[in-house]
Structure 1
Amino acid sequence: MKKLSFILLLVFSISSTYAQDISYEQLENLHYYGEELRKTDSYLSERCVLDIYYPKNTKDFATIVWFHGGGITGGEKEIPEALKNQGFAIIGVNYRLSPKVKAPTYIEDAAAAIAWTFKNIEEYGGDPKKIFVSGHSAGGYLASMVGLDKSYLQTHGIDANEIAGLIPFSGHTITHFTVRKEQGISGEQPTIDKYAPLFHVRKDAPPLLLITGDRELELLGRYEENAYLMRMMKVVGHKETVLYEMDGYGHGMTHPAFPLLIKEVKRILAK
């Protein structure tokens, strides 16, 4: 896996030349919950918004829903610069944070934002069959939870298998340390319960690309968690789980990982 790091510059160079003639528009602070619900919860109304950056003069484009990191206790929605101008849309999502809310509220918010994308992306020209879900750290955890535990999207009448691909960056695959803190468990005590992506391994999940930093530089065994998820997905018969380890990079490994995300999106679209 470490041998892949030397090709990243080449991949990025190729991807950066893609779709240069397309113009883009960015809309900010769109609510992904309905008005009636927003009236009942001021914190929901404040936090549960998203930004969309999309190509204006093309149709049937793919979309990447991107969840920010921050330990589920901080962070703000973002449209990563490395994902812009690639011919697809990027949706940056805010979600409610602990300790103002507890699990599973922020997972439910992530599902609601993904559901909004499925139900609204055609209005902007996108194809709801080409929706990818990604994010870094806490965002990677949320992406994996909604993609693997089908119950969250079922609430919105959506089958999680409709997601075109899951690409979490350095996300917990055991129960998130913030969820454990809410349960009175220390961050050094690993647990696997219904709030762990590992609890929901299944053969029929969307393609899963796991990306982490160097195992010796990552947080608290984050590489090993992802390696375990990869192994268990293979054990249950999932055919498209891949793990990349970014040699020499720690937890903040997004910059070298973005080209791999772009490459994975293009690989799946080319099927």
Structure 2
Amino acid sequence: MKKKIILIALFLGAVSLVFSQKKRITYKLIENLSYTDVYEGEKDDYMNERCKLDIYYPENQKDFATVVWFHGGGLTGGEKSIPNDLKNKGNAVVAVNYRLHPKVKNPVYIEDAAASVVWVFRNIEKYGGNNTKIFVAGHSAGGYLASMVGLDKSYLAKYGIDANSIAGLIPFSGHTITHMTVRKENGVGNKQPVVDKFAPLFHVRADAPPLVLITGDREIEMLGRYEENAYMYRMMKVVGHEETSLYEMPGFDHGTMTWPASHIMQKHIKQILKSKQN
């Protein structure tokens, strides 16, 4: 009887060890990969300096999803980094640098964002990822870029990619009106709203990828950021887009909302991927 108990215990221990080994995911970080090869023609020094990305991916997994992440900074500053809240989730994260005002002007930073997404579509399978599971996200100015690339189909179409191939758009506290820096370049103050072709709101459409809008608390967010996202939510619904969600993070301001927002993003990634399987 004792021998049987010992054998059962050993068997269960072995099964548990195998199971834990299968579940253990290891990640690799590769930094400063250039995406300038997407662009044709000559590259200047500033393009070569800024048009780079980092990729953090589960090196012992296959068929994983990828989040393309654009940093904030008002289109005038900021640096790529892999947010800690997005690590160890089973996904790849691609953190992107793009050229900045005043060295460049609109729409160069949108074009850079699009080029980096094209690079991911073309290359993620080399790292084990699945290019039908690419999500585009970012915070503040990065959220604006994510929305522009995913809603204005022209930026990706020039490279032969349908923006609807993006699995989901998840902007954190992004402008849905024309970005304040774009307005500044045109002599418009940051408190004067504009909706033109450089506003995600201009490109509302029923056939867009799933859209998850997340902001901080409306009372402490930046310059009515919740309200413009709420209007974006309503107009997407009006045009017939069924997969738009809106979240407000009570008690969190523009800068601190990224932590709770990252959990909402992960939930939606899982839901969207599950719906693709059905």
For normalisation by structure 1, the TM-score amounts to 0.91
Structure 2, unmatched stretches of 5+, are 1-21
Find the counterpart in structure 1 of residue 262 from structure 2: 258
State the match for 1:237 in structure 2: 240
Q: How many residues align?
A: 253
Q: Which runs of 5+ in 1 are unaligned?
A: 1-18
User: Which residue number corresponds to residue 268 of structure 1?
Assistant: 272
Q: Tell me: higher relative CO, structure 1 or 2? Use CA pairs within 8 A at least 6 residues apart.
A: 1
How far off is 1:270 after superposition? 0.9
Partner Cα separation in structure 2 for residue 35 and residue 153 of structure 1: 11
Give the whole-Å Cα distance in 2 for the aligned partners of 1:93 and 1:142.
11
d(CA) in 2 for partners of 1:36, 1:63: 22
Report if aligned partners of 2:36, 2:43 keep a CA contact under 8 Å in 1. Answer: no
Q: Deviations over 1:30-54 (max 9, x none)?
A: 0111198585311000000000000
Match of 1:5 in 2: none
Q: Letter of the aligned partner of 2:210 in structure 1? A: P
Match of 2:134, SS state, is: strand
Structure 1 247/117 Cα, relative in aligned 2: closer, same or farther at 3 Å? same
1:77 aligns to 2:74 (yes or no): no
Partners of 2:115 and 2:244 lie apart in 1 by: 25
Using the aligned pairs only, state the percent identity.
Answer: 68
User: In the aligned structure 1, how far is the partner of 2:222 from the partner of 2:197?
Assistant: 22
1:125 aligns with 2:128: yes
Residues 85-112 of structure 1: per-residue CA shift (max 9 Å, x gap): 1111000000000011011000000000
The C-alpha deviation readout for 1:39-93, integer Å capped at 9, x for no partner, is 5311000000000000111110000000000000000001011111111100000
Residue correspondence of structure 1 range 1-271 to structure 2 within 5 A: 21-34=24-37, 40-252=43-255, 253-271=257-275
Counterpart amino acid of 2:195?
Answer: I
Distance 2:38 2:122 in 1: 16
User: Aligned AA for 2:149?
Assistant: V
CA-to-aligned-CA distance 1:230-252 (integer Å, 9 cap, x gap): 00000000000010000011101
Counterpart Cα distance in 2 of 1:147 and 1:36: 19
Contact 2:166 2:209 in 1 (8 A): yes
Work out the CA distance in 1 between the residues paired with 2:43 and 2:90.
38
Q: Deviations over 1:130-182 (max 9, x none)?
A: 00000000000000000000000001110000000000000000000000000
Query: Retained in 2: the 8 A contact 1:172–1:226?
Result: yes
| CA RMSD in angstroms, aligned pairs only | 1.3
In 2, the alpha carbon distance for the partners of 1:129 and 1:254 equals 25
| Paired residues of 2:38 and 2:118 also in contact (CA < 8 A) | no
Counterpart residue type for residue 256 of structure 1: P
TM-score normalised to structure 2 length = 0.89
* Alpha carbons of structure 1 residues 186 and 60: separation in structure 2 relative to 1, 3 Å: same
Does the 8 A contact of 1:20 with 1:85 survive in 2?
no
Distance 2:182 2:100 in 1: 11
Compute the displacement of 1:192 (Å): 0.4
**4+ residue segments displaced more than 2 Å:** 35-40
CA contact (8 A) 1:32 1:49 kept: yes
Aligned-partner SS, 1:52: strand
Aligned to 1:3: none
Distance 1:69 1:264 in 2: 21
Contact 1:230 1:243 in 2 (8 A): yes
SS at match of 2:36: coil
- Work out the CA distance in 1 between the residues paired with 2:250 and 2:88: 27
